[in-house]
Amino acid sequence: MEDFFVSTPQGRLFARHWPAEGPLAPIILIHDSLGSVDLWRGFPALLSEATGRAVLAYDRLGFGRSDPRRGRLPTSFIDDEALNLPYLCAKFAWDRVVLFGHSVGGGMALSAAAQFPSVTAAVVTEAAQAFVEDCILDGIRAAKAEFEKPGQFDRLRRYHGDNAQWVLDAWTEAWHSDAFAGWTLDEALRRVTCPVLAIHGEHDEYGSVAHPRRIGALPAHGQTLILKNCGHIPHREKPDEVLSAVGDFLRDIA
């Protein structure tokens, strides 16, 4: 396991790499709206072992140990994240990768696949959102209220340090802005040409099963897996099922 920083025009990204032997396309993990490298916990190592592939996780700009970010997120923030892909790949001269995104990171992975089709061998989304839905907004409001309770904000500060308030505000303000109300992944989905696996918990509090069904409906190369008795973090709630599904999905992808 190796920790390092990746330089981009917008700032440095903190990253962690789990190496693997062999020629298979490595996996890049893209975290959720409050996530970080450390919040993936033991999953990247298990994913590397289950698939025989190198895994790289990174803190998006403004999150974890990456450089701070100021101001509101633009409405294009999901598409904009794809611009980091060439810099992440350059560290190890990777020319083909698998993208694995959790929650909003799933939308970012699909947008990156649409923008960089020659680089993206496959995409796995987990609890990804494909459009703005009332239950997503309700879930965000509930989470924001929870962080206002004594001691709860310390959980964010543990992973994001002085950036914690920005991280929380960026999430809640971006999704609740009027300008973002009509956002969908439809344009990106029309341009995705690689195989896609959409994993989703049946009890996800940040999106109904309409999201993975839309993502997995890609002609000829989309698959959907709805996990029973599972919420918004399948890789933590149902790790064995997620690892098995991803391993099977990637078995024929070099």
pLDDT for 242: 98
Would you kindly state where each structural domain of the chain is located, as residue ranges?
Answer: 2-250
pLDDT at residue 55, as a whole number: 98
CATH: 3.40.50.300, 3.90.550.10, 3.40.50.1820, 3.40.250.10. Which one for 2-250? 3.40.50.1820
Mean pLDDT of all residues in 135-162: 94
Residues 202-214: what's their mean pLDDT? 97
pLDDT of residue 219: 72
* Predicted confidence (pLDDT) per residue in 123-143, tens digit: 999 999 999 999 999 999 999
What pTM was estimated for this model as a whole? Answer: 0.97
User: What is the predicted pLDDT for the residue at 218?
Assistant: 81
Angstrom distance (rounded) from CA 50 to CA 228 = 22
Model pLDDT for residues 20-71, shown as the tens digit of each residue: 998 999 999 999 999 999 999 999 999 999 999 999 999 999 999 999 998 8
Q: Which residue has the tokens 């439809």?
A: 186
Residue 146: pLDDT band by 50, 70, 90 thresholds?
A: very high
- What burial letters (b/e) apply to 194-203, b meaning 16+ CB within 10 Å? bbbbbbbbee
What is the crossing angle of helices 164-176 and 134-147, to 10°?
150
Q: What is the mean pLDDT of residues 237-247?
A: 98
